[in-house]
Chains A and B, each alone.
Chain A
Amino acid sequence: MQEAITTSPERSPSTDEVDPIDPAIRIRDLDFLYGSNQVIHNVSLDIFPKEVMAFIGPSGCGKSTLLRCLNRMNDLVDGARIGKGSIEIHGVDVHDKSVDVIELRKKVGMVFQKSNPFPKSIYQNVAYGLQIQGVKSKRVVDQKVEESLRKAALWEEVKDRLNENAYGLSGGQQQRLCIARTLAVEPEIILMDEPCSALDPVATGRVEELILELKHEYTIVVVTHNMQQAGRISDRTAFFYLGKLIECDRTKKIFLNPSKQQTEDYISGKFG
């Protein structure tokens, strides 16, 4: 934990201070509802470029919902809507009518809780995002597939069996394949929804290493149940409880010296 924090740049101030860097994601006064059931209450939060932000909190606290708001995956849920407030990515309100949701999702990639490769070959999985964008050139696709698999630290393991079905990979490999698939689309921001919750400790370790590697290039938002994980990989941590943002600060501070009692109770395991 100690090591993770020292390796990250110490440039992220707490939200209360005036910030000299433009945030990659700016959430302001956000209310979010499923029908009449409000699940996010008045959340304001900034996420800065090339940092790893961890969302923690007990189940049902709205952290996954907030994450899915960022690339509008909640659009698919009947009755899901924004009550008030806004989410801006590089200054553009993502819920504005003029925003092309397809372009948004290319910019804001997502990795899911359970690895979900397509029932296709390894190669086809990574190439998918390019192919739907209409990239025809085999050379470009080949190159991009290799590059993405290398970035996801999977290339050496799969380079000899790119045409085999992705379901033949182990769980950890599948999750890294999903990350490679996301990278191939060249996003700026990667959202990860509990990416290691279905993995064994060794596979988890490899994905965490990968996240630390990727943050040099990408802004990463991770939802996690595992507080040690948040400590190991994130620069800053936001703690949610019952749909409200309780506290957001540098990870070291949250874990060692939280300013709210609820945060301390949760971290010390009094509830959750």
Chain B
Amino acid sequence: MNSSQRKENWIKIFFASNAVTSIIILGLITLFLFKEGIEFFGQYRNDLQRYRKSGMEYANVVTKQHDDLTLLYRYLENILSQETAALETLTTDDASRTSAEKHTKQMLELTRDFQNTKELLLIYEKKVVKWAAETKLFLLTQSDMIDVKEEALKQGLPLEDFPETVAQLEERTFFTHKELIRWQNYFIRHQREDLAKRINPIVGTESGTKEAGQITSLTPLIQASAKQQYAEILSKQKIKLSSLLNRYNPNFILPESDKDFTKVKTALTEYLSTVPLYEQRLSEWNPAEPYPLHRAFSGFLLGKDWVTNSARQDWYGVLPLLSGSLLVSMIALALAIPFGVGSAIYVNQVATAREQSIIKPCIEFISAIPSVLIGFFGIAVLGGMVSFVADERLNSLTAGFLLALMTVPTIFTLAEDSLNNVPRALRDASLSLGANRWQTCARVIFPSAITGIISAVLLGFGRVIGETMVVLLCAGNRIAIPDFTSGLGVFAQPVHTMTGIIAQEMGEVEFGSIHYRALFMVGIALFLIALLVNFLSQTIAGRYKANY
């Protein structure tokens, strides 16, 4: 091999290595994302298993039932207060007053009765929640203890003060404060502060059970109460509520109270028909039943709640974030497409060379503005303007406006390119047939460029959905699925986004926790969306090129 060939080879290797490096880095990013994220499902499943095992699942059903009842109670309270107010307006010598007074009194009694019934359930609920909370702490401690024990065995530490085997730990139904302190000291003695830190003996001393100084699994207690107390409460409730429905014959002062009361009656009947469902759900609760892994998947993908650091249970459902991201993106695109494509058509078809030389750099400069500055503008100026149509200054509309501004350059530049790529000969042909400029544009140039424009819009979408700073600052950051029943108002609700939640929460989460992994999963979802959008726009652009 002569020297010039060798040189050529080296040059080839140099350029090839550049390409390969970028591909490898892309691969590493993907791999890292997936590696960190994928463990989420296992952890989440374990967490949900604890949620079931501790009885918190059971407690939440009771809470839900109590909430239903509270809503009914609020209706009754409303009727009572409007009746009382109406009574005040009647003069003392009014003939109907005496009977009205009697009825209002009856109504008051009825409301009290109802409240008492409700109270029974509330007391029970509080008790169960307390038990479940302690059980959950116990389960967490237990799994921590098993972890540190396994670690100790792996490290070959002597048994000494920590002779319990893993199997023994799994069998335990309580831990005492003393034990935990002893184990903590054991690890400190062996210079394993990291493991010592994972043992938290404080929980034992503050437990809600009678036996101070220990933390216990109270699952049996909850199970027993389900069979006795809860059944008792329900049967009492049923009798009270149905008699309440049948016995009370209202004679209201206000006609709307009559209407309201009919409503309450229907709602109450409805409630009574749901009670068996609650009973069924509660009787089906089985702490030992394993929580299937696919429920962790569906819990993430279809979960409607994103709740973290909750006293009861954390939920990691991506739906509120995804819908927030999509809503904001849709608003942004709805605004950016006409502006971006419109100005591209103007610059490409109408503008003089001088106008072009002013408009193009101006629009392209927008993309050079740091997004945090755009966010400032949104908070300081746009928020005030948006608040004319929305309840809050910062909402999806504010963020959508700003994202539209940010994505106009992307759409403009790419759409202008694709308009430019339409052969001049097509324009000439159209004009020579007697078409005017607008006919030519609408019937020949735009349709010929449409694939390019679609891919421009898709890339704009990719830019919008990946944008972080502006949505974090201006989208309002309320984690909830937008209320699509509120008509146009849906566009003016505060939302949270996938990018925003990562930026906001990633700095504070504990490394390796479920929350940490959940954020990675959100990142993966974002990554997949970006991948899909990119793929689509490339496919479309490819088809476009094949045309000429």
Query: Could you tell me which A residues sit within 8 Å of B by CB distance?
Result: 71, 73, 76, 78, 102-103, 105-106, 109-110, 112, 114, 116-120, 128-129, 131-133, 167, 178, 181-182, 185
Contact = CB atoms under 8 A, between A and B. Distances in A.
A118 B430 contact: yes
Nearest to B439: A132
Contact of B434 (A114, A116, A120, A133): A133
B434 A129 contact: yes
Nearest to B353: A78
A132 B432 contact: no
Interface of B is mostly: helix
B425 A103 contact: no
Given A78-B353, A119-B447, A128-B443, A112 B425 contact: yes
Contacts of B431: 73, 76, 105
B433 to A, nearest CB: 4
Chain B CB count within 10 A is highest, among A103, A120, A131, A132, for A132
Nearest to A184: B433
Given A116-B425, A118-B426, A71 B443 contact: no
A236 to B, nearest CB: 23
A178 B429 contact: yes
A156 to B, nearest CB: 24
Contacts of B352: 78
9 contacts: A73-B431, A105-B432, A106-B434, A112-B425, A112-B429, A114-B425, A128-B430, A182-B433, A185-B433
Contacts of B423: 116
Given A106-B434, A132-B434, A185-B434, 19 more contacts: A78-B352, A102-B434, A103-B434, A105-B434, A109-B433, A112-B425, A112-B429, A116-B426, A116-B428, A116-B429, A118-B426, A118-B430, A120-B447, A128-B443, A129-B435, A132-B433, A132-B435, A132-B443, A178-B429
A151 B526 CA distance: 59
Nearest to A105: B434
B444 to A, nearest CB: 6
A114 B428 CA distance: 11
A82 B426 CA distance: 25
B436 interface: yes
Interface residues of B, number: 21
Nearest to B547: A119
A151 B408 CA distance: 48
B329 interface: no
Contacts of A114: 425
Contact of A102 (B353, B427, B436): B436
A182 B432 CA distance: 8
Contacts of A119: 426, 447-448, 547
Interface of B: 352-353, 423, 425-436, 439, 443-444, 447-448, 547
A120 B433 CA distance: 16
Contacts of B436: 102
A182 B431 CA distance: 11
A70 B225 CA distance: 99
Instruction: Kindly list the 8 A-B residue pairs having the minimum CB-CB distance in the complex, ordered from nearest.
Output: A116-B425, A106-B434, A110-B432, A129-B433, A132-B435, A105-B434, A116-B429, A132-B439
B361 to A, nearest CB: 20
Nearest to A112: B425
B432 A128 contact: no
A76 B424 CA distance: 11
B428 A112 contact: yes
Contacts of B444: 118
B350 to A, nearest CB: 12
A118 B426 CA distance: 6
Nearest to A131: B443
Contacts of B353: 78
B430 A109 contact: no
Nearest to A125: B429
A226 to B, nearest CB: 20
A115 B9 CA distance: 45
Nearest to B448: A119
B268 to A, nearest CB: 64
A71 B432 contact: yes
Contacts of A110: 428-429, 432
Nearest to A71: B432
A111 to B, nearest CB: 8
A118 B427 CA distance: 9
B547 to A, nearest CB: 6
Contacts of B434: 102-103, 105-106, 129, 132-133, 185
Contact of B432 (A109, A118, A133): A109
Nearest to B548: A119
A265 B58 CA distance: 105
A220 to B, nearest CB: 15
B447 A105 contact: no
Nearest to B444: A118
Contacts of B427: 76
B393 to A, nearest CB: 48
A109 B429 CA distance: 9
